[in-house]
Amino acid sequence: MKIVVNARFLTQPLSGVQRYAIECSRQIKKIYPETIFLCPENILFNDIAEELDVQIIGRNKGHLWEQFDLPMYLAKQKYPPLLNLANTAPLLYSNNFITIHDLAFYHHPEWNSKLFSMWYNILIPRLAKRCRHIFTVSQTMRGEIIKYYNVSPVKISVTYNGISQSMLDRKLINQVKKEKIILSVGSFNIRKNHQNLVSAFIHSEINDEYQLVIIGDKNKVFRESNLDESTLTDNNIKIYQGFSEQELINMYQKAEIVASLSVYEGFGIPLLEGLFYGCKIICSDIPVYRELYDKYACFCNPTDIKSVSETLNSTAGNDLKLPDLEPLLEKYNYAASAQTIIERINREPG
């Protein structure tokens, strides 16, 4: 069976959604090399496009390309299965398979622009009803889709995130000595709750001894935390943006702790990456993190600065004995997810 992948994710800045789409695509290409990848012309990751042998079609870009150029092209190809790995898909196409990463736009429309939230709240529930099958990145998200969109459980499969191939290839965990660094990685928006992490660190007992490193967008951190750059510098806090993957790997190797205080997530890739590089992890006590990292994390209330500070104090410097990581890596990996996707598509009639 010919399978086509909507590769518009290669035109979007890299976040967890695009990371999942890229890494699953790489594994799908290995398992099922006849897979076809289609994309508009404004590609940001040309090396990955070349690796996947991407075909550029259509004249439009963005949602217009996805909603018009892509289905019109596929209609001429006799409507093959279309795999959409990054939330959105052509609404009027009848042979869609989609990955829905989370329902943040449904629970908290105020976290995004009005136009974005309105479009997603129109598009995603209709795609969920009309598509052939849904993939999602955790059991928690599977339960939410069933509950809020009234989708049959048999229509949803879990395809977890994992460790990228480049990180697997470059793991040098034993060659770098851990430093007194608390690391937080992620795009800056309200849901990531960086402002509470900053405040909790400033009020902790370890702020003179440790350094808080946040990788993301510097300007948004200042707006959310109501702190200026001099305040952050005076309190041993560093904000970086535009890190390459190798720079990120280097930081994971040095960090003692990786922290995520998100108030809502679908998976939380940086926590898994932190564990992979031998870091202790501190995270929000939210359902998805309990599902994924229950035996591996130190949990705190992300809205209670005192709770976060106390968790930082108790975790820093302590030699925590965690369970073996191998079962986690066997469960959360892109090769397994790609295999599930291919098998599911091939089982669908027609």
pLDDT in tens, 157-182: 999 999 998 898 876 555 678 999 99
Which pLDDT score, from 0 to 100, does residue 233 have? 66
Tally the C-alpha atoms within 13 A of residue 202's C-alpha that lie toward its C-beta: 16
Nearest in space to 126 (alpha carbons), one of 107, 100, 102, 101: 100
CA distance linking residue 57 with residue 65, whole number of Å: 9
Range list for CATH 3.40.50.2000 in the chain? 4-162+333-347, 165-331
Tally the C-alpha atoms within 13 A of residue 333's C-alpha that lie toward its C-beta: 15
Q: Please state the φ and ψ torsions of residue 20, each to the nearest 5 degrees.
A: -60, -50
Which pLDDT score, from 0 to 100, does residue 8 have? 98
Classified by CATH at the fold level, domain 165-331 comes out as Rossmann fold (3.40.50)
Sole residue written with tokens 């990292």: 293
Which pLDDT score, from 0 to 100, does residue 285 have? 97
CA distance linking residue 254 with residue 248, whole number of Å: 10
Length of the chain measured in residues: 350
pLDDT in tens, 285-321: 999 999 999 999 999 999 999 999 999 999 998 888 8
In the predicted structure, residue 123 carries a pLDDT above the cut 60: yes
State how beta strands 133-136 and 96-99 pair.
parallel
In the predicted structure, residue 350 carries a pLDDT above the cut 60: yes
In the predicted structure, residue 126 carries a pLDDT above the cut 90: yes
pLDDT in tens, 96-120: 999 999 999 999 998 888 999 999 9
Which pLDDT score, from 0 to 100, does residue 246 have? 87
The alpha carbon torsion through 28, 31, 36, 37 (nearest 10 deg) reads 20
pLDDT in tens, 79-89: 999 999 999 99
In the structure encoding, which two tokens stand for residue 337, read together?
Answer: 């997810």
pLDDT in tens, 47-83: 999 999 999 999 999 999 999 999 999 999 999 999 9
pLDDT in tens, 184-232: 998 777 888 888 999 999 999 999 999 999 998 655 544 555 556 666 6
In the structure encoding, which two tokens stand for residue 200, read together?
Answer: 């909790």
The CATH superfamily assigned to 4-162+333-347 is Glycogen Phosphorylase B; (3.40.50.2000)
Which pLDDT score, from 0 to 100, does residue 141 have? 98
Mean pLDDT of the chain: 92
